[in-house]
């Protein structure tokens, strides 16, 4: 006797068919396996076209800018020159002249009848010698020839000053004795400081022909 609860063979076959269909549907519904990602390399950035120099506008701006700068500098320089010129007129002319007085060492440092050119650059010979009254004095002679202003030279062998321009001669005292010079060399003022040093003052001159060599400021007694 057959079991009424057991499934019939036809039913079993249907069941099998149904399961197979279900599996097919499930298989169709299941998500497909994702394919592996392909790494795409980044596209190379196209290179910028080579810089072919400043643009036309930039060129024009530069050109005008440079000319404007030149013009501005020239204008500023001219204005500065004008201002300086104006300021210059606010101040008087100042002539740089050598000092009119100078120190000539100690009186004891001078030998009698000895002439050297130590102060010739300053325009004087400082000499120790006897004067016409046979006094031992020190005096400062000008180096300017009284003819036309040349500078004589001391000739030690001949004991005289000789002018190279026209041949005038002067004794050690400064008195002219040959050539065209019309009068003796001039003396400068001389004094002795408390410390024994001599000071020559070229701003004061003494002329023998005017009797000024008798002035006590034209010599010092040794
Ligand atoms: S300038 Fe000295 S002799 Fe003429």
Query: Among the listed ranges 65-69, 126-130, 136-140, 154-158, which one has the minimum average pLDDT value?
Result: 65-69
pLDDT averaged over every residue in the chain: 82
Ligand 1 atom 1: the closest Cα is on which residue? 148
* Ligand 1 centre distance from Cα of residue 143 (Å): 11
Reported pTM? 0.59
CA 213 to each of CA 41, 87, 123, 188, 196: distance values in angstroms, whole numbers, following the listed order: 116, 48, 19, 10, 22
- Kindly list the structural domains of the chain, giving each domain's residue range(s) and its CATH number in brackets, ordered by start: 115-221 (2.102.10.10)
List the residue whose alpha carbon is closest to atom 4 of ligand 1: 166
* Res 18 pLDDT > 90: no
pLDDT category of residue 114 using cuts at 50, 70 and 90: very high
Residue list, ligand 1 pocket, CB within 6 Å: 145, 147-150, 163, 165-168, 179-181
pLDDT digits (tens, 9 = 90+) for 210-219: 999 999 999 9
- Ligand 1 centroid – CA 151 distance (Å): 8
The arithmetic mean of pLDDT across residues 198-216, rounded, is: 96
């Amino acid at each position: 006797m057959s079991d009424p609860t057991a499934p019939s063979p036809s039913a079993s076959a249907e069941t099998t068919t149904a399961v197979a269909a279900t599996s097919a549907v499930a298989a169709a519904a299941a998500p497909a396996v994702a394919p592996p990602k392909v790494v795409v390399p980044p596209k190379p950035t196209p290179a910028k076209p080579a810089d072919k120099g400043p643009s036309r506008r930039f060129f024009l701006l530069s050109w005008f800018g440079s000319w404007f700068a030149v013009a501005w500098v020239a204008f500023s320089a001219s204005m500065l020159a004008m201002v300086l010129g104006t300021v210059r007129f606010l101040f008087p002319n100042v002539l740089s002249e050598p000092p009119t007085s100078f120190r000539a060492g100690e009186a004891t440092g001078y030998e009698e009848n000895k002439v050297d050119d130590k102060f010739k650059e300053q325009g004087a010979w400082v000499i120790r010698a006897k004067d016409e009254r046979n006094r031992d004095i020190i005096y400062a002679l000008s180096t300017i020839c009284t003819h036309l202003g040349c500078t004589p030279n001391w000739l030690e062998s001949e004991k005289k000053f000789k002018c190279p321009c026209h041949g005038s001669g002067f004794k050690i005292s400064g008195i002219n004795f040959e050539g065209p010079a019309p009068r003796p060399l001039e003396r400068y003022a001389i004094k002795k400081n408390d410390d024994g040093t001599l000071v020559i003052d070229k701003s004061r001159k003494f002329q023998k022909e005017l009797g000024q060599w008798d002035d006590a400021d034209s010599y010092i007694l040794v």
